[in-house]
Amino acid sequence: YNNSVTQPITTSDGQLLSVKLKQVESYRRRTALLLVAPLLLFIIFTYIFPIGSLLFRSIDNTELNSLLTNTHEEIQQWDGENLPNEAVFKAFYKDLRIATEAKKQGKIATRLNYELSGMSSLIKKTARKAKKFDETIEIKAQLLKVHKKWNKTTTWNAVQRGTVPYHGRKYLTTFDFEQDFDGSIKRKPEDLRINVTLWLRTIFVAVGVTISCFLLAFPIAHLLSTLPSRYSNLLMICVLLPFWTSLLVRTSSWMVLLQTQGVLNDILVFLNLVNDDDRLVMMYNMTGTFVAMTQILLPFMVLPLYSVMKTISPSLMRAATSMGSTPFHAFRRIYFPLTYSGISAGSLLVFVLAIGYYITPALVGGAKGTLISNRIAYHMQSSLDWSLATAMGAVLLATVLIVYFIYNKIVGIDNMRLG
């Protein structure tokens, strides 16, 4: 009978083996973290922070709130029915004078104009007149003399709502809805409904271009995968050639080809396929947008398909035909299902690129080919409504994430083959 206790295992330096293993494992984790730290920092500063800023800016109204701080504090006590009291008028006058001295009255005018049309000119005129106000007498009476709009409750409703630091009303505007001053939500007038049309057009173009690229890329990728290397390499260079040319140059080339007096119409007239007086209109409409975007995005569909088709053994089709199957039946039941991962990856890639395209629709599509990305650029550059632009960008990002989520559920991101 041996009642001896098993001795713990130690290393040559006398440390417990379990402790030593934990130290080695901890060292490996720290080393791995240091190796991926540059990539992690790159993703944070170039991806996480910009997207976070995008989402925050869509609800951020702190700039106007900081310019009308006193007004915001006083007007929150207002019932919204009758005209505000003297304290509100005096607070607004004080904030406007301070902003005018800092030359920021234009920002107040622009921001309040988003809440109520006509506020921009009203604020600018009031800022000029306010320099001559007598602070020893009632400010309310002096403001009412500047313009009759200061005697309307809707004007002060706009000021009250405009000074709220955070709100999500821009997301309503993204889908052509608006919120009244009483809090009710309704659709915009019919002549102002443009965003939903652009969303539907953008999705239609993205899906249409994806289908067009698939129909053109499938036979090209199949040919590339079956040709001998010396021929397939030459053809692959032709496929990749657009990548070596500037996007702006390619788009400009399509403008030359597709315009009414362009090369394509000249050829059709020369072949007597169309009359000289009835030339095809392929520019500044959806036709030009489809043609140009399909040609530009075609390589993004060819490469994933080619990478999958190259791995499919030709003996599978020969075996199927030798067992009595017709070529079409063998293609439908054997070859085509094996290309699903390439089709899905190429479709996802083309769709994501197409839904956010900007340069080509702007140059080739014109007014009839405008997509939601062009509308976002308009609000960023012309109307300066950055909150609305970022709200649209956030919705566009959400759309892409939904498509990605559906793809991951149906196909699986692990099966993506991009070539």
Output the CA–CA distances (angstroms, integers) from residue 73 to 182, 207, 298, 412, in the order listed. 20, 50, 57, 53
Output the CA–CA distances (angstroms, integers) from residue 321 to 227, 256, 314, 316, 374, in the order listed. 20, 48, 11, 9, 51
Tokens of 390: 């970022």
- Crossing angle, helix 372-381 and helix 386-410, to 10 degrees? 150
- Whether the CB-CB separation of 60 and 166 falls below 8 Å is answered with yes
Those residues whose C-beta lies under 8 Å from the C-beta of residue 142, and which sit 6 or more positions away, are 133, 134
Percent of the chain past pLDDT 70, that is, above it, reads 95
At 2, the pLDDT band (50, 70, 90 cuts) reads: very low
What does the angle CA 272 – CA 276 – CA 282 come to, to the nearest 5 degrees?
Answer: 95
Whether the per-residue pLDDT at 84 is higher than 70: the answer is yes
pLDDT at 98: 92
Whether the per-residue pLDDT at 208 is higher than 90: the answer is yes
Tokens of 161: 């709502």
What does the angle CA 162 – CA 164 – CA 169 come to, to the nearest 5 degrees?
Answer: 70
| Distance of alpha carbon 300 from alpha carbon 347, whole angstroms | 9
pLDDT at 412: 67
What does the angle CA 46 – CA 52 – CA 54 come to, to the nearest 5 degrees?
Answer: 95
Whether the per-residue pLDDT at 418 is higher than 70: the answer is no
| Distance of alpha carbon 378 from alpha carbon 385, whole angstroms | 9
Mean pLDDT of 133-141: 86
- Whether the CB-CB separation of 341 and 415 falls below 8 Å is answered with yes
Tokens of 221: 């990728």
Whether the per-residue pLDDT at 181 is higher than 60: the answer is yes
Mean pLDDT of 135-145: 87
pLDDT in tens, 20-52: 778 878 888 888 888 888 888 888 888 888 888
Write down the mean pLDDT value for the chain.
85
pLDDT at 320: 81
pLDDT at 35: 86
Whether the per-residue pLDDT at 209 is higher than 90: the answer is yes
Whether the per-residue pLDDT at 145 is higher than 60: the answer is yes
pLDDT at 178: 87
pTM over the 0.85 mark: no
pLDDT in tens, 216-275: 999 999 888 888 888 888 888 888 887 788 888 888 888 888 888 888 888 888 888 888
pLDDT in tens, 323-360: 887 888 888 888 888 888 888 889 988 999 999 888 88
- Crossing angle, helix 86-101 and helix 119-129, to 10 degrees? 80
Give the phi and the psi of residue 10 in degrees, each rounded to 5: -125, 160
pLDDT at 6: 61
Q: Which residue has the higher pLDDT, 301 or 418?
A: 301
pLDDT at 416: 59
At 3, the pLDDT band (50, 70, 90 cuts) reads: very low
Mean pLDDT of 202-217: 93
Q: What percent of the chain is helix, strand and coil (3-state, nearest 5)?
A: 70, 0, 25
Mean pLDDT of 126-131: 89
Whether the per-residue pLDDT at 401 is higher than 50: the answer is yes
Least trusted range by pLDDT, from 27-41, 137-151, 203-217, 404-418: 404-418
Whether the per-residue pLDDT at 82 is higher than 70: the answer is yes
Percent of the chain past pLDDT 90, that is, above it, reads 15
